[in-house]
Structure 1
Amino acid sequence: MWAASGIVCSVVLSVFANTLSLPKLVLWCAVAVAALLTVYATARQFQNQASSVGGLDSIADMLAEATERLWYKASRTWRLNPEAPVLVSWTRDGKASLCSPDSSLLSEGLITELHDNLYQVPGRRQLVLVGAAGTGKTTAMLLLLHAALRRRATAPVDDRGDRVPVPVWLTLGSWDPDRATLSEYAARTVATMLGLPGPDRSPTGPAWRLVDERRVALFLDGLDEMPEQRRNAAFRYINKLAREGMRIVVTTRPAKRSVKDGGRFDFPVVVRLNPVAPSTAADFLLRDQTEENHPRWQELADFLRTHPRSAVAEALTTPLTISLARDAYADHDTKPIELAGIARPRDVVERLIGEFLDRAYSNDGGADRKRDDRRECRRAARERVTMTWLARQMGTDRDLIWWQIPTWAPASAVRMRCGGVLAATVLVIMMAGTFTLGTDAPWWVSLLPVGIAYLNSEWWCGRRIGKPPATLVWRRPTLRDLGKMMAFSALGGVLFGSIVAAKHSVWAGLAVVGMFVVMGVLGSGLGESFAGGLLAAATTPLADSPLITPYDAYRADRRRTVITVLSGAAAGGVFIGLLGLFDADVTTGVLWGVSIGLVLGWMGGMGPALLLAITRPAGRRSAKRLMPTLEAALDRQVLRQSGVVYQFRHAALQDHLRKVDVDDVDAA
């Protein structure tokens, strides 16, 4: 499209340059471009109307492939094991379910039985997985999702001749029912998973059609993690979709309030996770132990079998606490039997968490955790202090939204660092260019862009803190995007081009107009922040994408920032440098152009990755680099990933860190 526009304009200029005046040439070029845009928009409209059900089937298959990739990522993050290393028993809850309870437990082949006997049965539209914290609700849901994907791959049509829906995993912690319905939230997530451009995200796009035609099944994780004031609205939307035939799976904790408080399922088939029996916990603690470690764990296993009502037996009733015990006492010189001397289950869990953190952030441990270098030891201590600070800032929220971290630091400090980094960069460019290339301008003129850079960056930083990450997904611009480009180009080009033309010549004015056209096409070097353009059209938010990890989102946003900054610097340097030809001082024009373009690109590209890199937690003993600290905590199994955000491995781990004194952490 752009190549065709350029060819047409070139032909018009070459043929009529000597016969038509400059205004007529510009008018004919504008008419040619408008005609091409009209043809393009008409073709796009017919293309959208030509989409058929067969195309929707292929899009559903693409969504199934995207969900498969999501599952494999989640299996590594959550350490999923389809063989159920801890045998958790399942029971159908007859009191809360519309169906009569089975007499047998769903313990053998529980995922397959759960899928065949409950999930895929017609009419059972709300499968509710209920369990206490740490019982493996999310793990069971993800395994059920994978079973549904496998069954759909082998039998895409059910016994009634209907297409089997594609399971889609949605985390409810970030959903606000007051701003978006469940259908809108699901459609937005599906569009993100498929990488659909802006026009295909509309209510007539394929993502919305998949949801409206019930071609997807919603796996809703973490209903209990939603704020209390949002849950009643969430129940209404879930029940509404269930009445309309949507298949839904939900995980939640046992209710602590009565039905009168509002919030109940209309069509529930409730499955409860029962606590792990002491004998089962003992068997798992002994599994895969080496000959050297087996005697240590045998002592605790024997105690669990002979004292099933002890505090340690009551504490080790979930897969999470059992895994914590194995991780905390993995070293050969530790004694797991010391847990038998603790009087209360809550104290057992606290001891397990403390021992686990001590091992994760200490100089001891296995060969893969040896850190004999003092610098590494100090870094581990700073990382633990930082995780304590993050847990305190989160409060009772369970999602560690990494792009919100800059809002927890003093705003004035973040703004000063942001302005200082840009001002220092511009100062280096101006001074290096001035003393290396030479210029006729006074030396103090080089300091003016530095002040402009600091003031603009410091001011704009306050407006960008807390914004979600985004990436660049290149697509064809829409008519709205083209309108924004032309508006910016016309406004800036006519205003400044006429001034330059009056002072110098018509060609100088045209050079200014060309600069604004290019800047308008790029997005003024300002991404999605101001006038639009290619960068704005390609900017796609990542906050709702379940397919990428937090570090992937961080890198994508950082890459977007770099591209935007370099685009602004290049455009400004080239075209303001051309203006320098009319003053016989190209060097000054290039330096000023690069500096001003860098400022514009910095302002537009300023995203959470950049702000997180310059954010420093309160306290001199904290880690200086936050994203490496978060990734290290993920490697140490202190954190886990849930889509594009982090979460602590367990709420008890977050609560433990929130109550710890920083001085105690340093001493440890």
Structure 2
Amino acid sequence: MAGARVRWRTAALVLVLVACGFGLAWVLRVQGLQNAASWAQLLSLVVAVIPLFAQRPAAGPAVTTPTRAAEAADVLAALVLRQWRDEIRVRRLDDPEPLAVRWRADAVELSAAGELADRFRALDRPRLVITGAPGAGKTTLAVLLVRDLLVHRAPEDPVPVLLPIADWSPPAEAFPDWLARTLAAHYPALRAPEFGPDAPATLVADGRVLPVLDGLDELPEPLRRPALTALNATLTREDALVLSCRADEYAVLEDSITGAVVVAPALEPGDAVAHLRRCTSGGPGWERVFAELDADADAPVAGAVRTPLDVWLLRQVYGGTGADPGELTDRSRFPAAADITRHLLDHLVGALLGASPRGRRRWDAEDAARWLSWLARHLDTTGTREFAWWRLHRALRFGPLLRTGLGVVFGLVLGALMGAVGAVSGWWFGAPSTGFLAGAVGGLGVGLAYGFAAGHTAEPAQVDLRWSKRGGQLGRGLVVPVAQWLLGGLVVGAAFAVLGIDVLAEFAVLALVLGLLHGVVLWVAGPVPDQLAVDPVGALRGDLRLSAVRIGAFVLVAGLIIGFGAGLIGNLTLVPALVAAVLVALLQDRASPPRFAGLIYGGVVVVLALRRRVPLRLMRFLDDAHRIGLLRAVGPVHQFRHAEVHDHLARAEAVSGADRSPNPLP
């Protein structure tokens, strides 16, 4: 329903812009240019004033009040619960036959995350450190803990939010500042105007957020001790915290979270065997594996089934492929546990792709492994474990040639669209060719400008056409762009007047209409409505939808006005001045630059696909990889499901789905 409302409002906005353009054309045609200028000024006054009266309450409180903060916390709790319920379903963490992993905390053995949640709530100082070996299930326990805390959350309880800690840089950035910034990025609904201007920071300052920080060991080693120091300095006695870290990395730190309970995993070999017996079809091969696990605790296969990750790998690679797991007991091929683990990781991509549901697109295993290996190396190069699609441009060196190429492509598309609209409006005055050429040149100039901005980071944005909550912002938002465009139009028109070309009124009308357009396209960008959670696919679609609104509005109105102006003047003196005015406006718009993150991402994907680094439908591929368990989604970003999988793919070259060994997987 929310998506349908957005589409209807988008269509209504486009129709209004078209109606304004044709209305101005009628005034120009019937009443002349001077009257058109007066009508345009009156129109701008009406557009600017009506929203102030139509919106009875203010667009948003000047500060985030306690009531607003409580509402924001409830919205955040709903979004986080929905997010991790979906992720638990995708990752099958509530499998009908879950692996029995026991967690020991202060000599107390816990067999379920729910028990840990109850114990956590009862702590006098609610602080928890989850440790364990690689693949021990630290993140899984954190996810289940967040879910269980949210299911039984009281209104006054803080909202547990699981966030990767890898992009924090202590002590350069204070922990509360990083937490507020990350909340705003992962949950854009908190930036909605109804919550006030600083809801994420207020939630953090008021203790309404329970940080569940995943992966202290993924911070660069020099930053781990400063991170613990900063956390201890920030926490008060009442503040709650959950932190996960590999056991060895946490043990060597000469610091710890003050007063925290430390939990560690305990996976018994018998539990692993029982789980595999329940979840596999059995057969001679599995019986040989079970026999070796029971008979020899030092066997390579026993050493390769010590953590939940090991069991998951064994189950995925052999459980549904029809391959014979008995080959793992061949000590001539697998003399050590590391050899078995490497073998399982080598074949994980092919096994998961082969077991994907029918009806989903089939990806070639060799191509998929090559793409994922490149992606893992790219993330290592950029120093992060998170793939944010709007930062993919960091994979390219944006030199003048690439910037020019992207600008030319964007400019040709924009120029063709604006030329077509300009031809229609120019035809009204008997000069379709002049209107087409004027629109094409103007579109090419704007496209080149955005092409040269393609190397800059542009955060994703969304379309928000909720008039009842944001209508009051439109009138105030029109003031600055209209003033900028009018000033530019008058200056350019006066410059032409000095040259003996009297087009001052024409430039005033053009500048006024384009100023109104500029204000509207900035207004439509807003945070995600609070009914929606953000995932990587949704963030990309929302940004592309916003780009379509912006480009459509610009093409329709600017193309009409350029065609009218060119048809009236009868020459192209208008074009370079208009392009210059557009570029000046883009440079002035530093607070909210419409850099079209989604379009830039699309251009970068095309370049990388031509180099065989990624598939052309990269987001579709990543979404499928998430659904089959290779990746996990954390807000609008992707991560590899396990750090071990990430590291293995980063080290590996493209691995085919077939083993070159004498006894290959099918």
Residue 508 in 1 paired to residue 476 in 2?
no
Letter in 2 for 1:604: P
Partner amino acid for 1:71?
W
Matches within 5 A, 1:319-398: 319-331=308-320, 333-341=322-330, 342-360=334-352, 368=358, 379-395=364-380, 397-398=384-385
1:495 aligns with 2:491: yes
CA-to-partner distance for each residue in 1:109-137, whole Å, 9 max, x for gaps? Answer: x32321222x1124223111111121111
Instruction: Tell me the residue number matched to 1:419.
Output: 407
1:408 aligns with 2:395: yes
Aligned partners of 1:353 and 1:653 also within 8 Å: yes
The answer as to 2:476 corresponding to 1:472 is no
**Does the C-alpha gap of structure 1 residues 191 and 450 become closer, same or farther in structure 2, counting only changes over 3 Å?**
closer
Instruction: From the superposition, tell whether residues 487 and 294 of structure 1 become closer, same or farther in structure 2 (CA, over 3 Å).
Output: farther
Asked if the contact 1:131/1:273 (under 8 Å) is kept, the reply is: yes
**Corresponding residue for 2:561?**
575
* Alignment pair present for 1:213 and 2:203: no
Q: Provide the rounded CA distance (Å) in 2 between the counterparts of 1:369 and 1:355.
A: 22
C-alpha contact (below 8 Å) 1:406/1:414 kept by paired residues: no
**TM-score (normalised: structure 2):** 0.76
User: TM-score when scaled to structure 1?
Assistant: 0.76
SS at match of 2:129: strand
Q: How many residues align?
A: 602
CA distance in 2, matches of 1:430, 1:570: 7
Provide Cα deviations, 1:525-559, integer angstroms capped at 9, x if missing partner: xxxxxxxx425xx34599xx994221222212222
Per-residue deviation, 1:322: 0.8
CA apart distance, 1:409: 3.1
The superposition leaves residues 161-200 of structure 1 with CA deviations (integer Å, 9 ceiling, x where unpaired) of xx33222222212333455433233334555637144667
Partner of 1:13: none
Q: How far apart are the structure 2 equivalents of 1:351 and 1:480?
A: 62
Which residue identity is paired with 2:368? E
- Shift in alpha-carbon separation, 1:122–1:268, aligned structure 2, 3 A: closer
The residue type paired with residue 207 of structure 2 is: R
When residues 572 and 389 of structure 1 are mapped into structure 2, their CA distance, relative to the original with a 3 A threshold, is same
Conservation of the 8 A alpha-carbon contact between 1:453 and 1:599: no
Unaligned segments of structure 2, at least 5 residues: 1-15, 21-34, 588-592, 661-666
CA apart distance, 1:572: 0.7
Aligned to 1:270: 262
Distance apart, 1:282 and its partner CA: 0.9
Q: Is the 8 A contact 1:327 1:356 kept in 2?
A: yes
> Offset of 1:627 from its aligned partner?
2.3
Q: Is the 8 A contact 1:561 1:606 kept in 2?
A: yes
The match for 1:316 is: 305
Larger RCO (CA within 8 A; separation ≥ 6): 2
Counterparts of 2:622 and 2:298, CA distance in 1: 38
Output one character per residue of 1:544-587: Cα deviation in whole Å (capped at 9) or x when no partner.
Answer: x994221222212222222222122122112223323523689x
Change (3 A) 1:609 1:46: closer
**Alpha carbons of 1:384 and 1:28: their partners in 2 closer, same or farther (altered >3 Å)?**
closer
Task: Provide the C-alpha distance between the structure 2 equivalents of 1:90 and 1:190, rounded to a whole number of angstroms.
Answer: 29
The answer to which of 40-49 and 425-434 deviates more is 40-49
Equivalent residue letter for 2:327: E
**Structure 1 runs not aligned, ≥5 long:** 7-20, 93-100, 157-162, 524-532
- What secondary structure sits across from 1:170 in the alignment? strand
5 Å-filtered alignment, 1:156-555, equals: 156=155, 163-178=156-171, 180-190=173-183, 193=187, 195-197=189-191, 205-256=198-249, 263-274=255-266, 276-290=267-281, 293-331=282-320, 333-341=322-330, 342-360=334-352, 368=358, 379-395=364-380, 397-412=384-399, 414-426=402-414, 428-429=416-417, 439=432, 441=434, 448=441, 452=445, 455-462=448-455, 464=456, 466-474=457-465, 475=470, 476-477=472-473, 481-482=477-478, 484-498=480-494, 503-504=501-502, 507-522=505-520, 533-535=522-524, 538-540=525-527, 547-555=533-541
- Deviations, residues 247-292 of structure 1 (Å, cap 9, x unaligned): 1111111143766x65421221111112x222111111111434xx
- The one-letter code matched in structure 1 to 2:76 is L
**More off after superposition, 425-434 vs 388-397:** 425-434
Between the aligned partners of 1:422 and 1:30, the Cα distance in structure 2 is 30
Matched, 1:91 2:104: yes
CA separation in 1, counterparts of 2:239 and 2:657? 49
1:350 positional shift: 0.4
How far is 1:664 from its partner? 6.8
Percent identity over the alignment is: 25
What is the identity, as a one-letter code, of the residue corresponding to 1:382? D
Name the SS of the counterpart of 1:249 in structure 2.
strand
Asked if the contact 2:462/2:526 (under 8 Å) is kept, the reply is yes
Q: Match for residue 606 of structure 2?
A: 614
Distance 1:499 1:67, change over 3 A: same
C-alpha distance in 2 between matches for 1:617 and 1:62: 39
**472-481 or 412-421: which moved more?**
472-481
Partner Cα distance (1:360, 1:623) in 2: 18
The CA RMSD over aligned residues, in Å, is 4.7
Show the counterpart of 1:11: none
Question: CA 1:620 to 1:139, structure 2 compared with 1: closer, same or farther past 3 Å?
Answer: closer
The alpha-carbon deviation at position 391 of structure 1 amounts to 2.3
Assess, with a 3 A threshold, how the Cα gap between structure 1 residues 485 and 297 changes in structure 2: closer, same or farther: same
Query: Within 5 Å, which residues of 2 pair with 1:130-169?
Result: 130-152=131-153, 155-156=154-155, 163-169=156-162
Structure 1 residues 47 and 199: alpha-carbon distance in aligned structure 2, compared to 1, 3 A threshold: closer
How far 1:335 sits from its partner (Å)? 0.9
Alpha-carbon separation, structure 1, partners of 2:233 and 2:613: 51
Q: Indicate which of 65, 70, 76 corresponds to 2:89.
A: 76
